Amino acid sequence: MKGKILPSAVVLLAVLSWTHLRALENTSAKSMPADSNSYEAVYEQLMILGRTASRMASVEHVILQRDEGKFLLTQGELYLFSPEQNRIGGALFRGKGAFTMTPPTAIEQDQLYRFYETKTLSKEFDLLFLLFADTTRQELEKKLNFTAPQNNRTVQDEVKSCLSFVSNKKGK
């Protein structure tokens, strides 16, 4: 039976969550209070992340490469959110984009083929939500010209919707 492909935002969020968790493991605990590594502290940081975009930029043909995955932001707007406690940052892209990934090993390619009947995952999207605790913010700042954003309620609502995939209405 052929597997269902999840909505774009969920697929990309899952890929980024894995990258984000790897980056969190490498973040120095020296600069953070002792309890800031707890699940509750990280959860709280995530839930307040998208309250207000700190900057925005028009995007035209920007590539973000992470391991075997490549995000092509063809055209749109990118809203950057300030990192909480200089740790977890976020961005929301609205526009035309695509994600491609070819697993590096034959075994991984075969597994991808088993579920999706393709050895390369390729998915277009019109909304991309990024969470990061690595150099992604600096990379975006080098590639784009950011300006002060207008207070955009739609962007805040979209971030809240994306965060609902990593949170639970009943609590942490």
Confidence (pLDDT) at 102? 95
In angstroms, the CA 46 to CA 40 distance is 10
CA–CA–CA angle 96, 145, 12 (5° rounding): 35
Confidence (pLDDT) at 51? 66
Secondary structure of residue 88 in the 3-state scheme: strand
In this structure, are residues 37 and 118 in contact, taking their beta carbons and an 8 Å threshold? no
In this structure, are residues 108 and 136 in contact, taking their beta carbons and an 8 Å threshold? no
Report which of residues 20 and 101 the model is more confident about.
101
The residue extents of the domains of the chain are 8-166
- Would the pTM of this model clear 0.75, i.e. be above it? no
Phi and psi at 50, nearest 5°, equal -95, 20
For the stretch 84-124, pLDDT in tens is 666 778 899 999 999 999 999 999 999 999 999 999 999 99
pLDDT-derived band at 14, boundaries 50, 70, 90: very low
